[in-house]
Amino acid sequence: MYIEDEELGTQLVRWRHHLHQIPETGFNEHKTSDYVAKALELLGLEVHRGIGATGLVASLTVGDGAEVIGLRADMDALAMTETADGRVYISRNAGCMHGCGHDGHMAMVLGAAQLLTQSRDFNGTVRFIFQPAEEHGRGAAAMIQDGLFERFPVDEIYGAHNIPGMPVGHIATRVGGIMASEDNFVIRIRGRGGHAARPHMAADPLVVAAEIILALQTIVARSVDPAESAVVSCTEIHTDGIRNAIPTNVEIKGDTRSYSLEVQALLERRMREICNGIASAHGSSCEVEYTHEFVPTVNWPQAVPVTVRAAEAVVGKDNVDGNVPPMMISEDFGAFLKVVPGAFVFIGNGAAGTPGGVPLHNGQYDFNDAVLPIGARYFAEVARQRLPQED
């Protein structure tokens, strides 16, 4: 038994718009956590806070079923400026915005909690898990290390992310890898600075950096099996030079994406070989710092059919893709899936050129309010599909 659409929609928008105005970065989600906790408590749920710093969990048990599932939402925002002038609920926290839609994700899981506390049409326990610090890949691990699954065990866990470019009313997932790992790198090149008019007296690290940036693209093109997915992106370059002085130091930053431990290891090994080789050839030295930020998000085969049935019940079979191509974006929900079974889905936020079609991590981005009832019903339906009442 669902809440009437108008009532549900109004409450979902109220939650999201307030959360949108109080964005906070990872592990700083204090006002956000307070607001979510109060909303859950008003639904009659007991809330446990301070899990992984600012994370929280609320549980709802109906019937005598022993099985437990988790529904997860991420809470953190981005350290960027919202540039949507005229948006009445624009961020009140300068230099911080919900540019990835976590405000919408929280509202959807709150909506599922409201639907399920009213209908109580399942048999077992649902845990509503609100996670901090997703954007930098630290929050899921922090909750796990803080005893999340020992204190609040689950048999399976489910999550979702809005996707601009996918039409509203569409839900997509797949068995296996759905989002990639992310590794970060910093390449520090040290040459010998000098006058820009006398380059023969210097060992120019910018030339080394230029060759390295180009050569790194050969890793995917010539070292990775074409059947595997991988990306190497150099995104920043910094020097200590000036217009008429060749620098001594150059720093290159970037990241890599992949789906397997073998490819991750290959990317790191080839990067070190290429960087050191080119630097040495030019009489310079090089240091590579390589860190693992996100593990791949790999859906468990037994959990994906639950998501597909739930999605079909909400948006219809024709609007569900059960074998969507994997994306190279990263999400630290993958850390949960390394510990317990579960699955992740994409929910359409709006086709390009329509409301909701602005890309993630853009100052103009906004979560599409039309998606809120879809996501809330989807999460509630996952509970019904996974914890059905006995006939």
Pairing of strands 68-74, 124-131: parallel
pLDDT number for residue 10: 96
376 assigned to some structural domain: yes
User: Where residue 1 falls among pLDDT bands split at 50, 70, 90?
Assistant: very low
As a whole number, mean pLDDT of residues 89-114 equals 98
The DSSP line for 250-273 is EEEEEEEEESSHHHHHHHHHHHHH
351 assigned to some structural domain: yes
Assess whether 36 and 165 both reside in one domain. Answer: yes
As a whole number, mean pLDDT of residues 337-366 equals 96
User: Where residue 327 falls among pLDDT bands split at 50, 70, 90?
Assistant: very high
Assess whether 172 and 209 both reside in one domain. Answer: no
| pLDDT tens digits along 283-301 | 999 999 999 999 999 999 9
The helix or strand, by DSSP H or E, that contains position 215, with its residue range, turns out to be helix 205-218
User: Where residue 6 falls among pLDDT bands split at 50, 70, 90?
Assistant: confident
CATH number at residue 58: 3.40.630.10
Residue that is written with structure tokens 């048990």 in the block: 61
Q: Distance (Å, rounded) from C-alpha 256 to C-alpha 234? A: 9
Contact 286, 188 (CB under 8 A): yes
Assess whether 56 and 144 both reside in one domain. Answer: yes
pLDDT number for residue 45: 98
pLDDT number for residue 391: 66
Assess whether 217 and 348 both reside in one domain. Answer: no
Quick one: tokens of 259? 């789906």
pLDDT number for residue 24: 98
pLDDT higher than 80, residue 5: no
Q: Distance (Å, rounded) from C-alpha 299 to C-alpha 64? A: 28
Assess whether 249 and 363 both reside in one domain. Answer: no
pLDDT number for residue 124: 98
Q: Structural domain of residue 231, as residue ranges? A: 181-294
Quick one: tokens of 106? 């929280």
As a whole number, mean pLDDT of residues 182-186 equals 97
| pLDDT tens digits along 139-176 | 999 999 999 999 999 999 999 999 999 999 999 999 99
196 assigned to some structural domain: yes
Q: Distance (Å, rounded) from C-alpha 334 to C-alpha 55? A: 17
Assess whether 284 and 313 both reside in one domain. Answer: no
pLDDT number for residue 2: 39
User: Where residue 355 falls among pLDDT bands split at 50, 70, 90?
Assistant: confident
pLDDT higher than 60, residue 4: no
Among 248, 264, 294, give the residue marking a domain's end.
Answer: 294
pLDDT higher than 50, residue 313: yes
Contact 16, 104 (CB under 8 A): yes
Q: Return phi, psi of residue 33, to 5°.
A: -60, -40
Count of the separate structural domains present in the chain: 2
Q: Distance (Å, rounded) from C-alpha 249 to C-alpha 193? A: 8
Q: Distance (Å, rounded) from C-alpha 5 to C-alpha 321? A: 25
Assess whether 60 and 108 both reside in one domain. Answer: yes
Q: What is the DSSP letter of 317?
A: G
Q: 63-67, long-range: CB within 8 Å, 24+ apart, which pairs?
A: 63/122, 63/123, 63/124, 63/389, 64/123, 65/122, 65/123, 65/124, 65/125, 65/387, 66/124, 67/124, 67/125, 67/155, 67/386, 67/387
Among 294, 328, 359, give the residue marking a domain's end.
Answer: 294
pLDDT number for residue 3: 43
Strand, coil or helix: 101: coil
Assess whether 290 and 304 both reside in one domain. Answer: no
As a whole number, mean pLDDT of residues 343-350 equals 98
Nearest CA to 65 out of 122, 127, 150 is that of 122
Q: Distance (Å, rounded) from C-alpha 151 to C-alpha 131? A: 15
Among 294, 314, 343, give the residue marking a domain's end.
Answer: 294
**Burial profile 59-85: b = 16 or more Cβ within 10 angstroms, e = fewer:** bbebeeeeebbbbbbbbbbbebebeee
* Residues 6+ away with beta carbon under 8 Å from 272: 288, 290
DSSP lists the bridge partners of residue 59 as: 127
323 assigned to some structural domain: yes
391 assigned to some structural domain: no
**For the chain, percent of residues with pLDDT exceeding 90:** 96
Assess whether 186 and 273 both reside in one domain. Answer: yes
Assess whether 289 and 325 both reside in one domain. Answer: no
What is the model's pTM? 0.92
Q: Could you tell me the end-to-end alpha-carbon distance of the chain, in angstroms, rounded to an integer?
A: 16
Contact 298, 229 (CB under 8 A): no
Assess whether 193 and 265 both reside in one domain. Answer: yes
Strand, coil or helix: 33: helix
Work out the burial of residue 169: count CB atoms within 10 Å of its CB; fewer than 13 is exposed, 13-18 middle, 19 or more buried: middle
CATH number at residue 237: 3.30.70.360
Q: Return phi, psi of residue 291, to 5°.
A: -125, 145
| pLDDT tens digits along 51-80 | 999 999 999 999 999 999 999 999 999 999
| pLDDT tens digits along 218-249 | 999 999 999 999 999 999 999 999 999 999 99
Assess whether 44 and 30 both reside in one domain. Answer: yes
